[in-house]
């Protein structure tokens, strides 16, 4: 695949070709999985940006099913995750590496040498940040990036106030993000307070982006991302400046959008 051949994510059920509204979370997850599967089928050496958290779990399960049905292969693909907690070893059960192993990597034929995440245990964090950013650059950049969205509009761990040209970096997690992630840990005190994350500038260099959002609690964040002012106060709004973003939503997440987008 070359930079002149971006993944085709054009598919629509609404007047806006970039907003796909599905009946429920399962249908939205399947739709998103089909977008990634179609690109992977067309470009076997696809460089895929991956997200973690609760939102993509069913989407990853669908990709595993496609693989088990011999519809797709990850043999030539490379993956780059958005972020990793600082202070968690790769084999820690709540590290994002462990999450990806559980949800996707261990179930498909992705070469482990081609599955990249930041090293949360790096002794020299600055060097690790530079290494990861350079790794993405040296690969030719990400072809198709998956994103979720936080309640405050964060994408990856780019919290409100993040600059649109920010690169991979160390970030302090907000109290709200820590509280949101506490459900994955025994105690909120166990949630890491920092992470290494791709910056917004790094994300926006992906050739195509799919943002998956599920549930009514994401409706306000989705509305501001798609129809709000482009502002650092809502980092996902910077996606409006990208030429190839597809928003895959269930009806609950889409309920705040204007009627023109939902007709």
Provide the annotated active-site residues. 83, 152, 154, 159
- Which long-range contacts does 130-137 make (Cβ < 8 Å, 24+ apart)? 132/168, 132/196, 133/167, 133/168, 133/202, 135/80, 136/80, 136/168, 136/198, 136/202
Left (φ > 0), alpha (ψ -120 to 50) or beta: where does 164 sit? alpha
In sequence order, the 6+-apart residues with CB closer than 8 A to the CB of 189 are none
Exposure on the CB side of residue 120, measured as CA atoms within 13 A: 24
Nearest one of 87, 81, 92, 90 to 56, comparing CA atoms: 81
Start-to-end CA span in the chain (Å): 35
Cα 55 from chain centre:
9
Measured CA to CA, the distance from residue 186 to residue 116 in angstroms comes to 27
């Amino acid at each position: 695949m070359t930079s002149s051949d971006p993944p085709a994510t054009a598919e629509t059920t609404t007047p806006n070709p970039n907003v796909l509204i599905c009946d429920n979370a399962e249908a939205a997850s399947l739709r998103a999985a089909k977008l990634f599967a179609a690109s992977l089928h067309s470009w076997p050496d696809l460089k895929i940006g991956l997200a973690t958290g609760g939102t993509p779990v069913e989407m990853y399960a669908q990709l595993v099913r496609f693989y088990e049905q011999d519809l797709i292969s990850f043999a030539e693909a490379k993956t780059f995750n958005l972020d990793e907690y600082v202070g968690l070893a790769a084999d820690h059960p709540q590290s994002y590496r462990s999450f990806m192993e559980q949800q996707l990597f261990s179930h498909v034929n992705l070469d482990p040498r081609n599955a990249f995440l930041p090293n949360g245990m790096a002794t020299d964090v600055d060097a690790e940040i530079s290494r990861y950013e350079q790794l993405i650059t040296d690969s030719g950049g990400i072809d198709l990036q998956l994103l979720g969205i936080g309640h405050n509009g964060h994408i990856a761990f780019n919290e409100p106030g993040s600059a649109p040209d920010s690169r991979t970096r160390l970030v302090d997690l907000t109290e709200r993000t820590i509280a949101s992630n506490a459900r994955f840990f025994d105690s909120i005190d166990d949630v890491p307070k920092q992470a290494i994350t791709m910056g917004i500038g790094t994300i926006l260099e992906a050739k195509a982006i799919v943002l998956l959002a599920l549930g009514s609690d994401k409706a306000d964040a989705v509305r501001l991302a798609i129809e709000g002012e482009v502002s650092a106060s809502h980092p996902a709004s910077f996606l409006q400046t990208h030429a190839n973003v597809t928003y895959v939503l269930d009806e609950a997440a889409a309920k705040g959008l204007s009627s023109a987008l939902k007709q």
